[in-house]
Structure 1
Amino acid sequence: MAALGYVVSALVMGFLLVVLGLALVRARDWQRYILPKQSGPSWSDGEAEFELLRTIARNPTGWVLGFLVATLGIGAGAVLFVSGEAVPPSLRRNAWLLVVSLSVALVAGYIFWGTYQSSRYRGLDSAQATLTALWVWGALFIVAVIVKLVMA
């Protein structure tokens, strides 16, 4: 069993993370705008089953909750990974895989989205911004391979 201090520390930090997320959502002066009506059929016509997903994706609270779930998943995996003999080895291996996979996905998504938004802000259109973000992603992947080869 984990020491009581570690459990209390994890609970306090989780609580502070939730409070910080709620404070950020409530303190932000969210600006709203109305998209102009598009004429003609669009690719989304007749796809009512995805409407709930679109509603959640447009809601900032959904993004905050998604971040919190991912963070808590990484935290739970880390706790399982370091929890010694009380947890079976197969569960610890799966926890390690969960922590690494979610961490890589979050960092890769952060880098991609940040590069994309920065490129759009600087005046590039969507395709050029996507290409720039993918180029940065590829360059970082090559750097990671080079580091791996040099360190091996």
Structure 2
Amino acid sequence: MVSLTLLSTALMGLLVVATFLAVARIGAQRTAPGAGEQDRYAAVTEALKEVAGTPIVWAVGFLAITVGVGAVTLLAVGSFGIPEALAGTLLSLVYAAVGLLLVGFVFLGAYFSARGRGLGNAHGVAAGSFATGLVFLVVIVVQLLVGIIG
């Protein structure tokens, strides 16, 4: 048992030394590895950034989400010959999708609000997480007081 502990300690010590040497070697270079190259990840992110900045993409996305939620809602509450268990599941999916959209809007709204005021990414994530936590807290309080779910 003792020899296993000593072996584990020696291996962890070697791992720490190897990590220190690797960091020191990378830190000795003036530029980050691959800084001068345009890799595939950067190209894909730039293309997605251009696409996401187009207003027509936002309009089509909004219409697709609206029509999709409306169609599934009609399918769930309408009498189209769907089994009752499937209709309940579809309605639950609609509730979950709308809730996810609302929480996403709250998070992204707080995030971009913080970023628009000159704060960093971490501050934006903190603001978005705080706002999302407040939404969950309000939902829990309303559920306990009134019983809106179920």
Q: Which runs of 5+ in 2 are unaligned?
A: 1-33
TM-score by length of 2: 0.62
- Who is 2:131 aligned against? 136
- Who is 2:25 aligned against? none
1:62 aligns to 2:57 (yes or no): yes
Q: Which runs of 5+ in 1 are unaligned?
A: 1-38
How many residues align? The count is 113
Residues 101 and 53 of structure 1, relative CA distance in 2, 3 Å threshold: farther
Q: In the TM superposition, what whole-angstrom CA distance separates every residue of 1:102-133 from its partner, at most 9, and x where no partner exists?
A: 20121111111111122222232221011011
Q: In the TM superposition, what whole-angstrom CA distance separates every residue of 1:12-58 from its partner, at most 9, and x where no partner exists?
A: xxxxxxxxxxxxxxxxxxxxxxxxxxx9258x823489569725434
Q: Structure 1: which 4+ aligned runs deviate by more than 6 Å?
A: none
Amino acid at match of 2:39: D
- Who is 2:81 aligned against? 86
SS, match of residue 40 in structure 2: coil
Query: Rg bigger for which structure?
Result: 2
Retained in 1: the 8 A contact 2:69–2:94?
A: yes
Amino acid at match of 2:60: L
Residues 90 and 41 of structure 1, relative CA distance in 2, 3 Å threshold: farther
Residues 123 and 48 of structure 1, relative CA distance in 2, 3 Å threshold: closer
Amino acid at match of 1:98: L
1:45 aligns to 2:39 (yes or no): yes
| Larger relative contact order (CA 8 Å, sep ≥ 6) | 1
TM-score by length of 1: 0.61
Residues 51 and 111 of structure 1, relative CA distance in 2, 3 Å threshold: closer
Retained in 1: the 8 A contact 2:72–2:91?
A: yes
